[in-house]
């Protein structure tokens, strides 16, 4: 046992803990699923590209195929006790991490056997290395083999030609491959979702654990629950997950969806406080234009949930939404309808925040500009007023300003491994944009979180942690960037895009560590051989990448040493010469 009076021992314990934490982070990066190239239209995936996807698919129970999750089967076979504490924030123990590594290795081996020699060999492999009997593993491997076969066929070009000829293209669901493997084969006419089926029972069940973790994390860091949160809800994400983001909003408010006699989700009911066991959180929802267009009944559902909760006769310390609405009305700031407005989107027919364009074009002077732009674009209210009149995109800037002014945490659900927060500029335009707006209106930077509901146990990370993970797993990972560089011109543009999107997180949330820019510079610009490849393949993107690094320094996001900056300036000069045809 370590005692307080034993400084050497506690130093060594601290060192052990640091090494252990590092080990945990390394495993996380190593085992993260990343795209290792772009999809080429019409080209089937190669067997070697499939293993990681198959592993992810097999990490969930697939009741529709009678298949259990492989990690659970292997853990059971090896006699490991799996922690059931899905709401716990506790880090895994060293023993648990070792077990995870072992499970990972056993599954890798079996999946390799599946690819090389088929189902029976995979079953045999699992039986030998983890005592999993054939009756249990056959359904999983049958499912995986079927998926693998579908990944190896590709009718996209034929389907496109059919569509252009006006012929019938069979329909198929639109979803993430891990969430719903029935999206295969590709090359079908993608259909979306019935909004009256949102959120599904599965989405609502999964959302509970994530929301509990989110609130536990905030509480651990701040000593109390967040009194108000701002959520970003996107259309495509809620199609893919059948409304996981929507369900999270409902859980934060402490309500459950209710279906009508036609089995359509059209109402909500409050979960009693003694069952909920915590206060109801005030939730400000920023929905994308796509969500507004696709999920009209869901927009009404969310607005109904807010109005229901605001009018519950409950103590104010257990119902933050009610408290805020009452404060505003009693202070004479506005009427009850305005005080209950919580669902905001663009004006009808408009999309996006434009924060991304302003960042990409370096067109902002002061910090406040980006947050102001976000609210200007997104301050249109949707729902129904207390007389039952539809509100469809009524400008409500004052309502949005006062709702955001109370926000203590912002959040977005991430449900896919294909697109992360540095792959596209939309995450920072939305989550970054709303966080910047809150920073000004609440005079405090909010805590910013993302979930990772793609892993079976659903994780919560801070924005800064997520940026670090994405940087390690993608931008600076040779497996990722070499995969991109195989695509030549487009690949360099993807790398540059990642750097610019990372910069977007500096601009909107100051969430990027100095080392990120330093290592980007070292990997892509100061390495002569790499720079030569980039400028040969795509000098325009190479130029943008170096300019972005200099801008990061100029705007105070990156504290670079003077020699590095001199080198970057020299390289920019020579790239400009190259582009102008001087060199
Ligand atoms: C959406 O699905 O709502 C969405 C897609 C791309 C960018 C922003 C939002
Ligand atoms: Mg900094």
Each residue of 546-555: pLDDT tens digit?
A: 999 999 999 9
Protein residue with least CA distance to atom 6, ligand 1: 426
Q: Choose among 552, 424, 558, 433: nearest CA to 493.
A: 424
Q: What confidence score (pLDDT) does residue 6 get?
A: 54
Residue 197: pLDDT over 80: yes
Mean pLDDT of the region 178-183: 83
Please give the full DSSP string across 211-259, using - where no structure is assigned: HHHHHHHHHHHHSS--SEEEEEE-HHHHHHTTSHHHHHHHHHHTEEEEE
Mean pLDDT of the region 365-383: 96
Q: What confidence score (pLDDT) does residue 419 get?
A: 85
Higher pLDDT, 92 or 235: 235
Run of H or E including 391: strand 390-395
Average pLDDT, the chain: 92
387, with CB counted inside 10 A (0-12, 13-18, 19+), is exposed
Higher pLDDT, 294 or 87: 294
Q: pLDDT confidence of 28, banded at 50, 70, 90? A: confident
CB neighbours of 34 closer than 8 A, spacing ≥ 6? 417, 473, 474, 477, 479, 480
Atom of ligand 1 nearest to the CA of 234: 3
Both tokens of residue 356? 């991304």
Q: pLDDT confidence of 82, banded at 50, 70, 90? A: low
Q: What confidence score (pLDDT) does residue 1 get?
A: 40
For residues 74 and 104, the answer to whether their CB atoms sit within 8 Å is no
Boundaries of every domain in the chain: 11-154, 217-462, 476-579
Phi, psi (5° rounding) for residue 424?
A: -135, 160
Phi, psi (5° rounding) for residue 412?
A: -140, 145
Closest ligand to 505 CA? 2
CA distance 335 to 349: 28
Both tokens of residue 337? 């309808």
Strand ranges for 428-469 from DSSP E: 447-452, 459-462
Phi, psi (5° rounding) for residue 4?
A: -65, -25
Q: Considering the entire predicted model, what is its pTM? A: 0.85
* Residue 418 DSSP one-character state: S
User: Which of 77-86, 137-146, 552-561 comes out lowest in average pLDDT?
Assistant: 77-86
For residues 499 and 520, the answer to whether their CB atoms sit within 8 Å is yes
CA distance 312 to 252: 15
Residue 53: pLDDT over 90: no
Mean pLDDT of the region 340-369: 96
Ligand 1 test: best mutation among 174, 232, 235, most atoms within 8 Å of CB? 235
Q: What confidence score (pLDDT) does residue 86 get?
A: 44
Distance 553 CA to ligand 2 centre (A): 9
Mean pLDDT of the region 511-519: 98
Distance 120 CA to ligand 1 centre (A): 43
Q: pLDDT confidence of 3, banded at 50, 70, 90? A: very low
CA distance 176 to 52: 14
Strands 189-191 and 171-173: parallel
Please give the full DSSP string across 490-518, using - where no structure is assigned: HHHHHHHHHHHHHHHHHHHH----HHHHH
CA distance 326 to 311: 9
Distance 62 CA to ligand 1 centre (A): 28
The listed range with the strongest mean pLDDT (114-118, 195-199, 561-565) is 561-565
Pocket (CB within 6 angstroms of ligand 1): 234-236, 288, 290-291, 426
Q: What confidence score (pLDDT) does residue 417 get?
A: 72
- Beta carbons within 10 angstroms of residue 550's beta carbon: 17
Distance 264 CA to ligand 1 centre (A): 25
- Sign of the Cα torsion 565, 567, 568, 572 reads positive
CA distance 2 to 15: 13
Ligand 1 test: best mutation among 288, 350, 419, 433, most atoms within 8 Å of CB? 288
For residues 389 and 414, the answer to whether their CB atoms sit within 8 Å is no
User: Which of 40-54, 131-145, 487-501 comes out lowest in average pLDDT?
Assistant: 40-54
Strands 380-384 and 390-395: antiparallel
Strands 265-270 and 459-462: unpaired
Residue 472: pLDDT over 90: yes
Read off the pLDDT of residues 263-294 as tens digits, 9 standing for 90 and up. Answer: 899 999 999 999 999 999 999 999 999 999 99
Higher pLDDT, 383 or 34: 383
Residue 313: pLDDT over 90: yes
Both tokens of residue 531? 């720079």
Q: pLDDT confidence of 179, banded at 50, 70, 90? A: confident
Higher pLDDT, 496 or 26: 496
Q: Choose among 553, 551, 539: nearest CA to 583.
A: 539
Read off the pLDDT of residues 445-470 as tens digits, 9 standing for 90 and up. Answer: 999 999 987 666 678 999 999 999 99
Cis omega (within 30 of 0) on the bond before 261? Answer: no
Q: What confidence score (pLDDT) does residue 83 get?
A: 58
Atom of ligand 1 nearest to the CA of 291: 3
Closest ligand to 416 CA? 1
Read off the pLDDT of residues 128-175 as tens digits, 9 standing for 90 and up. Answer: 999 999 999 999 999 999 999 999 889 999 999 999 999 999 998 877
What Cα–Cα distance (Å) separates residue 553 from each residue in 364, 417, 492, 549? 16, 30, 22, 6
Distance 313 CA to ligand 2 centre (A): 46
Atom of ligand 1 nearest to the CA of 288: 3
Q: What confidence score (pLDDT) does residue 456 get?
A: 65
Ligand 1 test: best mutation among 193, 198, 234, 246, most atoms within 8 Å of CB? 234
């Amino acid at each position: 046992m370590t005692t307080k009076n034993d400084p050497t021992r506690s130093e060594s314990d601290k060192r052990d803990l640091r090494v252990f934490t590092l080990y945990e982070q390394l495993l996380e990066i190593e085992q993260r699923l990343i795209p290792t190239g772009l999809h080429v239209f019409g080209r089937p995936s190669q067997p070697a590209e499939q293993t990681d996807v198959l592993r992810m698919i097999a990490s969930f129970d697939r009741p529709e195929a009678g298949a259990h999750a492989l990690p659970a089967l292997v853990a059971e076979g090896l006699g490991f006790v799996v922690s059931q504490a899905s709401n716990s924030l506790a880090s895994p123990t060293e023993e648990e991490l070792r077990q995870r590594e072992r499970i990972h290795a056993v599954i890798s081996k079996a999946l390799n056997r599946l690819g090389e020699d088929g189902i029976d060999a995979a079953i045999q492999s699992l039986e030998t290395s983890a005592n999993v009997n054939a009756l249990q593993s056959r359904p999983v491997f049958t499912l995986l083999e079927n998926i693998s076969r579908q990944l190896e066929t590709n009718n996209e070009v034929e389907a496109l030609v059919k569509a252009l000829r006006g012929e019938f293209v069979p329909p198929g669901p639109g979803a993430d491959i891990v969430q719903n493997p029935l999206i295969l084969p590709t090359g079908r006419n993608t259909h979306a979702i019935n909004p009256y089926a949102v959120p599904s029972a599965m989405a609502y069940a999964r959302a509970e654990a994530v929301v509990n973790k989110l609130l536990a994390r905030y509480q651990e860091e701040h000593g109390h629950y967040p009194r108000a949160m701002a959520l970003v809800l996107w259309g495509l994400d809620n199609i893919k997950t059948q409304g996981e983001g929507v369900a999270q909003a409902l859980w934060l408010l402490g309500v459950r969806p209710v279906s009508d006699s036609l089995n359509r989700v059209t109402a909500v009911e409050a979960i009693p406080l003694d069952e909920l066991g915590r206060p109801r959180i005030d939730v400000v929802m920023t929905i994308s234009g796509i969500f507004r267009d696709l999920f009209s009944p869901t927009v009404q559902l969310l607005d109904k949930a807010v109005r229901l909760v605001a009018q519950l006769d409950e103590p104010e310390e257990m119902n933050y939404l009610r408290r805020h609405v009452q404060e505003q009305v009693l202070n004479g700031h506005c009427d009850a309808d305005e005080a209950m407005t919580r669902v905001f989107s663009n004006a009808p027919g408009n999309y996006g925040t434009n924060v991304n364009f302003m960042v990409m074009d370096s067109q902002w002077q002061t910090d406040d500009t980006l947050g102001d732009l976000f609210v200007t674009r997104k301050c249109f209210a949707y729902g129904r007023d207390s007389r039952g009149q539809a509100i469809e995109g009524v400008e409500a800037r004052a309502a949005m300003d006062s709702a955001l002014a109370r926000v203590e945490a912002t959040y977005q659900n991430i449900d896919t491994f294909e697109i992360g927060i540095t792959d596209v500029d939309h995450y920072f335009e939305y989550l970054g944009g709303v966080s910047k707006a809150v920073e000004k209106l609440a005079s405090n930077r909010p805590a910013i979180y993302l979930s990772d509901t793609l892993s079976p146990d659903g994780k919560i990370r801070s924005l800064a942690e997520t940026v670090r993970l994405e940087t390690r797993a993608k931008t600076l990972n040779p497996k990722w960037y070499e995969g991109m560089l195989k695509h030549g011109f487009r690949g360099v543009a993807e790398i540059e895009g990642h750097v610019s999107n990372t910069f977007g997180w500096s601009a909107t949330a100051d969430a990027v560590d100095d080392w990120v820019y330093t290592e980007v510079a070292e990997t892509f610009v100061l390495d002569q051989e790499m720079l030569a490849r980039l400028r040969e393949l795509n000098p325009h993107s190479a130029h943008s990448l170096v300019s972005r690094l200099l801008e990061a320094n100029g705007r105070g996001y990156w504290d670079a040493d003077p020699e590095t900056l001199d080198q970057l300036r020299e390289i920019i000069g020579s790239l400009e010469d190259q582009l102008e045809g001087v060199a």
